[in-house]
A and B are shown apart, each in its own frame.
Chain A
Amino acid sequence: MATALETVQDYAAKAYKYGFSTAIESDMAPKGLNEDIVRLISAKKNDPEWLAEWRLEAFRRWLTMEEPTWQKVHYPPIDYQDVHYYAAPKIKERPKSLDEIDPEIRSTYDKLGIPIKEQEILAGVAVDYVWDSVSVATTFRAKLEELGIIFCSVSEAVHDHPELVRKYLGSVVPAGDNFFAALNAAVFTDGSFVYVPKGVRCPMELSTYFRINEMNTGQFERTLIIAEAGSYVSYLEGCTAPQRDENQLHAAVVELIALDDAEIKYSTVQNWYPGNAEGKGGIYNFVTKRGTCRGKRSKISWTQVETGSAITWKYPSCILQGDDSVGEFYSVAVTNNAQQADTGTKMIHIGKRTRSRIVSKGISAGRADQTYRGLVRMQKGAEGARNHTQCDSMLIGDKCGAHTVPYIEIKNRTAQAEHEATTSKISDDQLFYCRSRGIPEEDAVALIVNGFCREVMNELPMEFAVEARKLLGISLEGSVG
């Protein structure tokens, strides 16, 4: 009979459920990256001049930058000239109504379980559907507009709300912030844009669903969320990609801005194709996410469930600028087989009495390697600031790794930071106990892992918590055995 270790190793062989691709005619830029490609993207997107210039500037910066190597992940050098930087389903123009969407695209989203409909299943959720490089549909727009909430693709926002985009784009993650952010600024094609006006509490979850479909393409989306004083919004992103043997690059940028008393809750369920059991294929998920609590008493909360991607490199961060502002980071990262993840957060305390909380749950199985990397910095003016960090790692099997790299910098005597860390294993005792109560081995692993992650799962919006729980189970299939 199987030990915990053997059971974990078994699950690995199961297939990635979202691995199909859809045959659809695409409008693609030739492979490679140079100023002409950047200009081509600008032309395709009908960029205003300032944006075209911004892209070129970012591209020139990118040329001078080096790909970071400090993270604890390994992969062969990426040939940035071997990627298509623009791919869009061939449609004459963005469909005016949801009924005009290409049936192939529609059926793909149906298969993924997020039908493009304003219907009961997703009644409480407005969704922006991003297909390769472009947004193909956004639901419930009219209803949101009544409240003055803008929820649309970034491309549309550039044209319809240029003053807002110009004011905030790159204000949290500047074009030259890091290698991947610069690349994104040069070639980003779409993403979601959210603007919640003063004092408005967004009545539904806003969600973007990202799908990479084409081969040899990169996905470079950019999301910008602005919460005016006293407003509230909860936003969720989901993502999947077809199963392919080559690696695909996903280098997104997310910027959040919360003004006085505003709150942004940003949740991610990341399920990009992780590659096969031997580590062939899968998405390189190199993402820069940052929010700034610009206003007093504002709050930004990141919740992420990271189960996919061959390599994950991301550190959703909070700049706690406004006095009494709050930053939170709740993370579950699961790595199985040959997956690698180097993920964590940065909490930069600038304002007085700013508070941050970090709860990171890492689960590593198979031959996977995972690192929590987090920075807590209390600036000189961060009078009375506080942080609490809790990092728990769970190992399944004896060939995986978990590493915790906390950086703590305190420049104010009255600031406090606490760090707790634990490492545990699923024990044979626990598995036996569950199984002796009739719970099959794979369900038992999912149950135990979900229990380990409960604090984080509780932070997810209701509509997605159930899915996320299932996803944890699926991601670890093949991990004991």
Chain B
Amino acid sequence: MLKISDLHVAVDGGSKPVLKGLTLEVEPGEVHAIMGPNGSGKSTLSYVLAGRDGYDVTGGTVRFEGADLLELEVEERAAAGIFLAMQYPVEIPGVANNYFLRQSLNALRRARGEPEISAADFIKKLRAVAEQVGVGQELIKRDVNAGFSGGEKKRNEILQMVMLEPKLCVLDETDSGLDIDALKTVADGVNSLRSPDRGMIVITHYQRLLDYIVPDFVHILADGRIRKTGGKELALELEEQGYEQLLGEAA
């Protein structure tokens, strides 16, 4: 469903290359973990997929379900079914979390030519999902991310993800700042979305998350390229040896 070929991306007005020939394919039903040291380009990859400004694609292609993803606007990518659970979700003061989510869901539905969800159906669905991902009713009514703790913000991202039912989930360091209980709840939410027609890219620093979200593939990203690919055991190997040693072998 997602095919990234020889992707080159630069930041700072194109002067600073970050991704230098990244190639990755994700098929429906697969969960791909991407691990890598700081500055290796993990977050850049997630932002480029979501279509954020400031990331200049200087080479390569990204195709999503056969279409040229790089041609699409941010909201069009969302409508196409891409969801990015962000590392640093922003606050939107004065906009209630549930209102925002309903606007989002209906915007996606409109873009896909589907009818809007009724208020009653929305509330019903939101209640169920919120309970599932451990987001309290009180948090649902508060302003989007405003005054949320780190863990609450991450759970809120997962709440949105489960509500919006994307085709491709991209999780950018969703585990950072989570204690072990929160990690489990978040992982449960993510696992509930695993299905034969949905792909996932899980970006993380730590093997720990992968105990709960068990990947089909683990990729090690370093210096802007995938340097090593393996099964879930690669993450354990990495945990033991560290990047330097592991990549030293690869190189």
Contact = CB atoms under 8 A, between A and B. Distances in A.
B164 interface: yes
B209 to A, nearest CB: 22
B53 interface: yes
Most chain B Cβ neighbours within 10 Å, of A2, A433, A436, A455: A436
Main SS at interface, chain A:
helix
B73 A435 contact: yes
Nearest to B55: A1
A435 B75 contact: yes
Contacts of B94: 450-455
Interface size class of B (residues with CB under 8 A): 20 to 34
A430 B95 CA distance: 12
Contact of A432 (B53, B93, B95): B53
A448 B84 contact: no
Interface in A448-476: 448, 450-455
A47 interface: no
26 contacts: A1-B53, A1-B73, A2-B53, A429-B90, A433-B86, A435-B74, A435-B75, A436-B74, A437-B100, A437-B108, A438-B78, A438-B107, A439-B104, A440-B75, A440-B107, A441-B75, A443-B103, A447-B95, A447-B100, A447-B103, A448-B92, A448-B95, A451-B92, A452-B94, A454-B94, A454-B95
Contacts of A429: 90
Given A451-B95, A453-B94, A433 B89 contact: yes
Contacts of B84: 436
Interface in B91-143: 92-95, 100, 103-105, 107-108, 111, 143
A440 B249 CA distance: 47
A429 B52 CA distance: 9
Interface in B76-90: 77-79, 83-84, 86, 89-90
Interface string B38-82: 000000000000111100000000000000000001110111000
Given A1-B53, A451-B92, 14 more contacts: A1-B74, A428-B53, A432-B53, A434-B104, A435-B51, A435-B75, A437-B164, A438-B75, A438-B104, A438-B105, A438-B107, A438-B164, A448-B95, A451-B93
Interface of B: 50-53, 73-75, 77-79, 83-84, 86, 89-90, 92-95, 100, 103-105, 107-108, 111, 143, 160, 164
Nearest to B145: A433
Interface of A: 1-3, 427-430, 432-441, 443, 447-448, 450-455
Contact of A452 (B51, B93, B105): B93
B181 to A, nearest CB: 26
A2 B73 CA distance: 9
A360 B86 CA distance: 33
A-B pairs, top 8 by smallest CB distance, nearest first, are A451-B94, A451-B95, A435-B74, A438-B78, A454-B94, A437-B104, A438-B108, A438-B107
A432 B164 contact: no
Contacts of A437: 78, 100, 104, 107-108, 160, 164
